[in-house]
Structure 1
Amino acid sequence: MAVLWNKHRFSGGVLVLDTTNTLVLRGHADRSFDRFEDRAEISRFAEAARTFRPAELGGRAPVFENSEAAAGRVIALREAADRLFRQAVLSGQLDTALLPAVLRAAASCLDGASEMVGGAERPYGDPATPLRFETALGVSALSLLSGNEWRKIRICPNCNWLFVDRSRNASRLWCDMAVCGNRHKARRHYERSKATEVSHG
């Protein structure tokens, strides 16, 4: 069944974290599953990214060449980025042992690309032309590392997704309040109700 690539699935805040979150329920071997197991979903994810990551992509349309080699590069960066940034959240520091894998994977995604990015007028290049998805992903990963933005990454306590907390007082708990926050509230309400039933039983 095709994935509905909606706003919730782009709760990471940046393209590279949205991509890490395509492996759902990480750390739960019995329940975890990969939304990119069907490689055609990478193309559909790339198309949706134009709608849900317009600022990061500068309005450009990311296009994925559906091949095993291209998919391998995307998956390699997805996994290396998740290991690095998840550990950074837990420790508050970047582990240099994990950094080379991200840099190699990002370089592989950028290999063969011929793009001019970072300009004052068009920081993401010409919005009228498509952008190779792997290039967009590589730039996203390197951009997250270029400043202190990685320090704002959090882990959602409900779904275990990574997301950037850009709230004013750095107090955001959930990747998506409308989904994970509400699920947590519903679970707490249920647990309180059950506890009340037991106490009066």
Structure 2
Amino acid sequence: MSRDTARAATQFFGGRVCLDFANTLDWRTSDDPQELVPDYAALLSWSERRGTLPDAASRKLRPRAASNEAAAVMQTAYALRRDIWTIADRLRAGHAAELRLVNRMLSVAPRQPELVRQDRGYRHALAGTDINEPLWPVLWSLTALLASDDAKRVGCCEAQGCGWFFVDESPNRTRLWCSSEVCGNRERARRAYAKRKGVS
């Protein structure tokens, strides 16, 4: 993650949509966390960058970004994000996930639609008719993660103040950072400085 919120909002180190969504609070465990999706318009922009909504769906939803219903969606989004944090923390500690909010959301979400090809990638064929649509791919990603062996590979960046989650796909499950080039370099420099100064 980066102290530049515009840059951080384009960094996807989680390896799964749901974990990248969990990482939309930059410097999550610091004293000064930075919100990367402060409103519905930002959520749509994040969905476009992450490739979870077709362009046409995003264009249809954008005029509704200032509505009261969009504000309500953001409250649900933040609740889902907090749930993903809790679930990810429990998984990496070897505990069972708490599924109440997830299952409640699944009970009202539609079945996953067919896929469409876009920009050399694939998207769910969401139509842009339901204002909750940006949250559905996050929810589907979370259920896929929980139902797979990847649930045993969830890790959290060990850099001071970061708190970003990822699926550790390293052979020996030894990944320490959300990004070796970003947090890894910063943390190595911090630790080297602290060692020189005799501070932990």
Deviations 1:62-105 (A, max 9, x none): 95533223333322221211111212212x1214xx21222223
Moved more, 126-135 or 170-179: 126-135
Report the Cα distance in structure 2 between the residues aligned to 1:23 and 1:6, rounded to whole angstroms: 9
- Partner residue, 1:178: 181
Q: 1:169 to 1:18 in 2, by over 3 A?
A: same
Residues 31 and 62 from structure 1, CA distance in 2 versus in 1: closer, same or farther, beyond 3 angstroms? farther
Where 2:116 maps in the other structure, the secondary structure is coil
Structure 1 residue ranges without an equivalent (≥5): 51-56, 117-124, 196-201
The answer to whether 1:93 aligns with 2:91 is no
Q: Which SS does the other structure have where 1:127 is aligned?
A: strand
Amino acid at match of 2:137: A
Which consecutive unaligned segments of at least 5 residues does structure 2 have? Answer: 127-132
Cα offset for 1:161? 1.0
Q: How many residues align?
A: 174
Deviation digits for residues 118-155 of structure 1 (CA, Å, limit 9, x no counterpart)? xxxxxxx1225753422211211110111221110001
Corresponding residue number in structure 2 for 1:12: 14
Q: 1:47: how far off?
A: 1.0
- Would you say 1:104 and 2:104 are equivalent positions? yes
TM-score (norm 1): 0.73
Q: Flag the 1:114–1:154 CA change in 2: closer, same or farther, 3 A.
A: closer
How many angstroms apart in 2 are the aligned matches of 1:62 and 1:146? 30
| Aligned-residue offset at 1:24 | 2.6
Task: Return the letter of the residue paired with 2:163.
Answer: N
Highest Rg: 1 or 2? 1
Residues 146 and 136 of structure 1: CA distance in aligned 2, closer, same or farther (over 3 Å): same
**Which amino acid is the alignment partner of residue 147 of structure 1?**
S
Query: Residue 21 of structure 1 corresponds to which residue in structure 2?
Result: 23
Relative contact order (alpha carbons < 8 A, sep ≥ 6): 1 or 2 greater?
A: 2
Asked if the contact 1:3/1:41 (under 8 Å) is kept, the reply is: no
Report % sequence identity: 27
Name the residue aligned to 1:194: 197
**1:43 and 1:63 in contact (8 A); partners too:** no
Is the contact made by 1:77 and 1:106 (CA closer than 8 Å) also made in structure 2?
A: no
Q: Which amino acid aligns with 2:147?
A: S
* Counterpart in the other structure of 2:164: 161
Q: Does 1:126 align with 2:116?
A: yes
